Amino acid sequence: MLEGRCISCGRGLVEEGCTQFPCPECGYIIKRCNICRSQSAKYKCPECGFEGP
Ligand SMILES: [Zn+2]
Ligand SMILES: [Zn+2]
């Protein structure tokens, strides 16, 4: 279990398969839940506005 919330849907990262990784642009830690990850939902970095799959 990770701390924080999914930046796409706001769910807590309590399920298996949640992930976090640094933004390729600015290094901000982006967190995503397993659901958004499996749906390949887009994310947008709240720091620099970078969008990725
Ligand atoms: Zn999510
Ligand atoms: Zn960023």
What are the Cα distances from residue 45, in Å, to 9, 12, 15, 20? 13, 17, 22, 12
- 46 within domain boundaries: no
- 48 within domain boundaries: no
Counting ligands in written order, the one closest to the CA of 24 is 2
Whether pLDDT at 1 is above 80 = no
Whole-number pLDDT of residue 52: 84
Our count of domains for the chain comes to 1
Counting ligands in written order, the one closest to the CA of 18 is 1
- 25 within domain boundaries: yes
More confident residue, 48 or 40: 48
Q: How many of the other CB atoms lie within 10 Å of CB of 51?
A: 10
- 21 within domain boundaries: yes
Whole-number pLDDT of residue 30: 94
Give distance in angstroms: CA of 44 to centre of ligand 1. 12
| pTM, entire model | 0.82
Give distance in angstroms: CA of 20 to centre of ligand 2. 13
Give distance in angstroms: CA of 42 to centre of ligand 1. 10
Give distance in angstroms: CA of 33 to centre of ligand 2. 18
Q: Which domain holds residue 20?
A: 1-39
What would the pLDDT profile of 5-42 be if each residue is shown by its tens digit?
999 899 999 989 999 999 999 999 999 999 999 998 78
